[in-house]
Amino acid sequence: MAGDIILTTKGLTKHYGGVHALEDADFEIRSGEHVAIVGDNGAGKSTFVRQITGVEQPTAGEIFFDGKTRHFANPLDARKVGIETVFQNLALADDLDVPANIFLGREEVYFNLGPFSFMNEKKMLAMAEEGLKRTAIKIPNLHNTIGNMSGGQRQCVAISRTVTFASKLIIMDEPTAALGVQETTQVENIIRTLKKQGIPLILISHNLRQVLNLVDKIIVFRRGRIVGALDAKKTDGNEIVSLITGLDTGVHENASYI
């Protein structure tokens, strides 16, 4: 199932002044693999994601992606090589419609006239519909502005943006944190669809039930370090929680941390 290594980090470290937010993180994900990153608040999950998506630059360490060493100066650099990210703060323009948001910053044009290129709206609409279909996302009217949509629909648009561009790696930072039960299910279904299509995914989540259900591998962060890599099929909530908290909880077999 697991194929070639798609992304590796070696000794990835990020210090904010005296704060060691991320220490010596060695991480790898293979093509087709879905990996979850879990950990307490401030454990370094989001810091880690910010380094591999180019939002910030690491203090030390290396990132290998798709066979090459990479230095991402900004999120666009990471996106250009095929790392698409759904950020926690959706990064959508409320006053634009769905295709406009999906293609923001990389509009399809008839011919290139620099900043005055004429956009091919038909092609963008068709591609947006295609991307939505691939993730089985249903949005009633694509010409509605994003601001008029529910949280779940907005999240779906943010996700379909990553899928439309047939990316090599998708990263989702807490994609269901702000969603209701039904909307969460919808997003989880999208993730399952991505799994079937063999698109690798890094999922940051607080929801252990979700993580155990969805992914292959679980990476646990604690105090800026990776403290465990678990096979989702061979572990349970207790083991994850004890790694997250750093306490051997004395394992209550019936405890429901999940």
Partner 1 sequence: MMDMIKNMTARPLPKDTGIFLVLIGVAIIFEILGWLTQGQTFIFNAQRLFIIILQMAIIGIMAIGVTQIIIMAGIDLSGGSIIGIAGLVAASLAQTSDNVNAVYPAFTDLPVIIPVLAGLGVAMGLGWFNGAVIAITRIPPFIATLAMLVIARGLSRWYTSGKQVSFFVDDFGFFGSGATPIWIFLGVAVLSHILLTRTTYGRRTYAIGSNEQAARMAGINVGRHKMLVYALAGLLYGIAAIIQTSRAETAQSGTGLMWELDAIAAVVIGGTSLMGGVGRITGTIIGVLILGIITSGFTFLGIGVYFINIVKGIIIVAAVVADQYRHRSKRKA
Q: Which residues pair with 5 in a beta bridge?
A: 30
Q: Which residues pair with 140 in a beta bridge?
A: none
Identify the residue among 1, 111, 116, 252 touching partner 1 (CB under 8 A).
Answer: 116
Q: Which stretch binds partner 1 (CB under 8 A): 83-91, 169-177, 192-200, 221-229?
A: 83-91
**255 in Cβ contact with 238 (< 8 Å):** yes
Identify the residue among 113, 182, 196, 248 touching partner 1 (CB under 8 A).
Answer: 113
Based on CB atoms, which residue is closest to partner 1, 16 or 118? 118
Radius of gyration (Cα) for the chain, nearest Å? Answer: 19
Q: Which stretch binds partner 1 (CB under 8 A): 116-124, 219-227, 232-240, 241-249?
A: 116-124
**84 in Cβ contact with 171 (< 8 Å):** yes
We find the least distance from the C-beta atom of residue 100 to partner 1, in angstroms, to be: 6
Hey, is 138 helix, strand or coil? coil
Identify the residue among 1, 68, 73, 141 touching partner 1 (CB under 8 A).
Answer: 141
Identify the residue among 47, 87, 159, 202 touching partner 1 (CB under 8 A).
Answer: 87
Task: Write b or e for each residue in 169-194: b if 16 or more Cβ atoms lie within 10 A of its Cβ, otherwise e.
Answer: bbbbbbbbeebeeebbebbbebbeeb
Based on CB atoms, which residue is closest to partner 1, 121 or 236? 121
One-letter identity of residue 29: I
Chain residues that interact with partner 1, rule: CB under 8 A: 74-76, 79, 87, 89-96, 100, 104-107, 109, 113, 115-119, 125, 129, 140-143, 147-148
